[in-house]
Structure 1
Amino acid sequence: MNVISVNAVESAILALLMLLFGEVTKKHTPLLSKYHIPGPVIGGCIAALITTCLYRMGMEFEFELPYKETLMLMFFAGIGLSANIKQLFQGGRLFVVFLGIAVVYIIFQDAIGVAAASFLGLDPKLGLMTGSITLSGGHGTGAAWASMFHDHFGVDNALEIAMACATFGLVIGGIIGAPLGTYLVEKNQLSTPNVHATDVEHKKAHHMPSKGNVLHCIGSVVLLACCVELSQMLHSLVLVLDVHWLNMVPNFVYALFVGALFSTLFSESKPAKIAMVEVARLSSIALSVFLSMALLEIKLWQLFDMALSLVVILTIQTLFTIVFVTSVTYKLLGKNYDAAVMASGHAGFGLGATPTAMLNMNGITGYYGPSPQAYFIVPLIGAFFIDLSNLIVIETFLHFMS
């Protein structure tokens, strides 16, 4: 095998080109755009196919990606900064109920993954990769946990499994979400209680504020950089002190925590409110570049022996999601129009990601009418609180499986 080393600059250029190609392909392919398939995933899948073909021809590439981890930490710091812990009390009883439902869902999701993996003769820990790590967690969380599974559990193809499962979930979550919500609305003859909501109010739930200026952008970069540096210092301190119960916590969790702490302390200040728009944009860019770099290292040939097993497990997860959101999420949230919309959103972020959830809800509200309550609660849980809950569930499973 002829191993070809690619230096840091060349690797970064390739990752950015892959991201650009994926975004352009998505823009000009209605099917990919409709289901919110991320640009880096599109480009990454194509790059993975190319490197696989070259591997079969006797060439293997080794990429040098020194900034991959920093970009990952910037993304999770951005998630933390975008949410305020005080908002936990603003959603009222329905918010708490939905969060509890989502937590129960990911517990079952991981239990199904572990049980199915064991039944198929795979490492039970891999079941977590086909559970909430990649499905409720998405590509970013999957890629972040993959490094831990590789380093601590010796899973050589953890990244490949994570990306495959997350991509599957993203597509399926976008396919089944809106039809499930539509089924609930039609079957139960539901109607929106917000028929008099104005177009302006409806649009406010769908759009981000306008762009900030260069100063805001620079301030946001500094804020993210500070969060990254503090999270790395905190992670290093934990390792030095050898805090046993924290040793298995991945470094991105510290970035999430530091970002949330900053947000809670300074969210009421005017500069912080302005900066949040740029923080969301920059963290999204960081995630895209990080995923491009992570996918650049994918080795598809290591997955061929496990392809059938992964399809079986993910099919079971999909069927479970359909049953859960229609019989548990919808009913416990009140069996009304808002509950149907939130159930479709749950299918979106339970299998895919928060953008998928918003896509599902847009499909329903665009036809049947607005649901401001759903547009407040679903993104807040899907984009932040479920990540914290997911971490606790995953850590608990790993503790009992170790």
Structure 2
Amino acid sequence: MSDITLNSVQSLLLALLILWVGARLLSNIKTLSKYHIPSPIIGGILMSLITMALHYSDINITFDLPLKDTLMLMFFASVGLSADLRLLKHGGSALVSFLFCAALFIVFQDILGVTLSSLLNLDPLLGLMAGSITLSGGHGTGAAWASVYNEQLHIPDALEIAMACATFGLVAGGVFGGPLGTRLVERYRLTPSIKQNPHVHTTNANHKSYAGLSNISSYLIAVVVLLLCAVLSGHIHQAIQSSGIHALTLVPNFVYAIVLGIIIGHVPTVRHKLDTIRFEVDKSANLSLGLFLAMALMDLKLWNLFDLALPLLIILVAQLMLTIGFVYWITFRVMGKSYDAAVLAAGHVGFGMGATPTAMMNLKAITGSYGPSPQAYFIVPLVGAFFIDIINLIVIQGYIAFLT
């Protein structure tokens, strides 16, 4: 058995290469772009397959990744910084109703995951990983919780499981969301309440693009703010871990990054400055997430997953059936069985199984064929990009506390 060790600089260069390869494959393979598979996932999975092939050729590669956690915290800090709680009052009852559906769905998602894991003789905590952690949470949340599973809950191969579940959910959410919304529109003969260009509303008020203001100074400010939140949240996490407060020992470090981002982002002078460099903050956060995922995936040991492949597939297929049934019978009806409700249903499948970009892709597929839905374009990204993460965190913490 030969061992190859890449130092921190070489590992960072490889992660950047993974992002570039993933972006090239995404732009050249229509199937990947059709289902909105993120480029870090494409390149990262390809690299993990290469390392698996080398492993079976008696060659092991070890990576030095000291920046991985910092990059993760920078991304989650951006989630907090992008939150504008003032928008809650503009959403009205529709926002509250959709948020209720999303929260209730997470509860059922985890009940199903935990129950099936127990029936399949797996650790019930794996049901959470094959539930809202990776499906409603996505790759970033799954990778973040994987460290808690490995280090504090002593469950091996958590990262491999998280990436497998999140990738399945991402693809499934894109494949089934659009057809479900289409079926609802056609079965109930629904039509938009207004006639206008649907693309006008595709940008959430939380995520305005200020590309025209992009410059080196703005990028430096964005990176410094994100890095400051990441470093401070890391120190806060370490201090709380050392304090011996049992109720907080299982709170992952990225939670403090989100909370710190919310607090800093709601300081009036900071909010004003962030609004002028929103484009740079989003780009810096996306690069941080991309590098984090690339580093996490290149360090996967896929060969450890083979024994869990069939049980995980059973759980994930059951989760897909739950998602379709819940959205069809509950979300659509709670939201009023209107055209907007059908578009919201398609979006709910997207981020309930995959991620917010998948949800927006589903919205675009429906509105591109049948007409605009400004309400859906406002509510889905607001709930999917921020509020669902907070609710998901609370639900996961509750389940872990109960199961442990």
Superposition pairs for residues 186-335 of structure 1, below 5 Å?
Answer: 186-195=186-195, 197-198=196-197, 201-202=200-201, 208-211=208-211, 212-266=214-268, 269-335=271-337
Superposition pairs for residues 16-55 of structure 1, below 5 Å?
Answer: 16-55=16-55
Q: What value does the CA root-mean-square deviation take over the aligned residues? A: 1.5
Give structure 2 stretches of 5+ with no counterpart. none
Give structure 1 stretches of 5+ with no counterpart. none
Q: Does 1:141 align with 2:141?
A: yes
The percent identity for this pair of structures is: 50
Q: Which residue of 2 aligns with 1:157?
A: 157
Deviant stretches of 4+, over 6 Å: none
TM-score under structure 2 normalisation? Answer: 0.96
**Range 73-82 or range 203-212, more displaced:** 203-212
Question: In 2, distance between residues paired with 1:305 and 1:199?
Answer: 47
Q: Which residue of 2 aligns with 1:107?
A: 107
Q: Which residue of 2 aligns with 1:98?
A: 98
Question: In 2, distance between residues paired with 1:72 and 1:242?
Answer: 25
Question: In 2, distance between residues paired with 1:255 and 1:203?
Answer: 27
Q: Is the 8 A contact 1:267 1:273 kept in 2?
A: no
Question: In 1, distance between residues paired with 2:228 and 2:8?
Answer: 24
Q: Is the 8 A contact 1:142 1:166 kept in 2?
A: yes
Q: Is the 8 A contact 2:340 2:373 kept in 1?
A: yes
Q: Which residue of 2 aligns with 1:398?
A: 400
CA separation of 1:30/1:93 partners in 2, compared to 1, >3 Å: closer, same or farther?
Answer: same
- What secondary structure does 2:266 align onto? helix
- What secondary structure does 2:392 align onto? helix
String of CA shifts for 1:27-56, please: whole Å, max 9, x gaps: 000110011101111111111111111111
- What secondary structure does 2:5 align onto? strand
Q: Does 1:61 align with 2:91?
A: no
Report the residue type matching 2:37 in the other structure. Answer: I
TM-score under structure 1 normalisation? Answer: 0.97
Q: Does 1:345 align with 2:347?
A: yes
Q: Is the 8 A contact 1:22 1:41 kept in 2?
A: yes
**Range 68-77 or range 86-95, more displaced:** 86-95
Q: Which residue of 2 aligns with 1:118?
A: 118
Report deviation, 1:131: 0.2
Q: Is the 8 A contact 1:266 1:272 kept in 2?
A: no
Report deviation, 1:83: 1.1
Aligned residues: 401
Residue 358 of structure 1: which of 360, 371, 386 is its match? Answer: 360
Report deviation, 1:84: 1.3
Report the residue type matching 2:358 in the other structure. Answer: T
- What secondary structure does 1:153 align onto? coil
Report deviation, 1:267: 7.2
- What secondary structure does 1:131 align onto? helix
Residue 384 of structure 2: which of 382, 385, 389 is its match? Answer: 382
Question: In 2, distance between residues paired with 1:303 and 1:100?
Answer: 35
